[in-house]
A and B are shown apart, each in its own frame.
Chain A
């Protein structure tokens, strides 16, 4: 009973991750500039990678055909999800700050840029 609930929950998380991943990859092509594409990356990272990994890990805890190593797979999967959840925002933040500071990607469309008004492209 509890095993089936956990398996259905994990499969639902994997499906949610697949759909969110597809939406994020479409957004990667439809958004206009680098700073907007950062949003698509975040959707694809947290919804598209962390949640499916958590789903696969909780399935692995109760999935008999994996054999005696299933606890290793579940535990290491949860650690991977934690690592991605902590490191992905930090990396994206550092990258966005460096790109803006180096003046590589202009902010288009722009309302107001307080950090560096010259980076503001057309409205």
Chain B
């Protein structure tokens, strides 16, 4: 295990703890806005975590999963905002 892997192994628990805390807020959030915000943060973290895990496991192909995650969560934001604004989806 070289330097990069051992340092990443130290920081991985912090990311996992943060994702669990976001998940708690996503489940119990008082309004729908809090839930969407928590899912936002959780998914952006997951994208970062996947790239870091790509370094850790020495698998460059894991990068392919990060870009669709970032685009998907943006579309979730926009659809929820549009639904709350006008009461309709899509279009």
Contact = CB atoms under 8 A, between A and B. Distances in A.
Nearest to B38: A28
B37 A52 contact: no
Given A84-B44, A88-B40, A76 B22 contact: no
Nearest to B76: A91
Interface residues of B, number: 50
A71 B10 CA distance: 25
Contact of B40 (A60, A67, A91, A101): A91
Chain B interface, >50% SS class: helix
A69 B60 contact: yes
A53 interface: yes
B45 A41 contact: no
Contacts of B15: 18, 21
Nearest to A4: B3
Interface residues of A, number: 58
Interface of B: 2-4, 7-8, 11, 14-15, 17-19, 21-22, 24-25, 31-34, 36-38, 40-41, 44-45, 47-48, 51-52, 54-55, 58, 60-61, 63-64, 66-67, 70-71, 73-74, 77-78, 80-82, 84-85
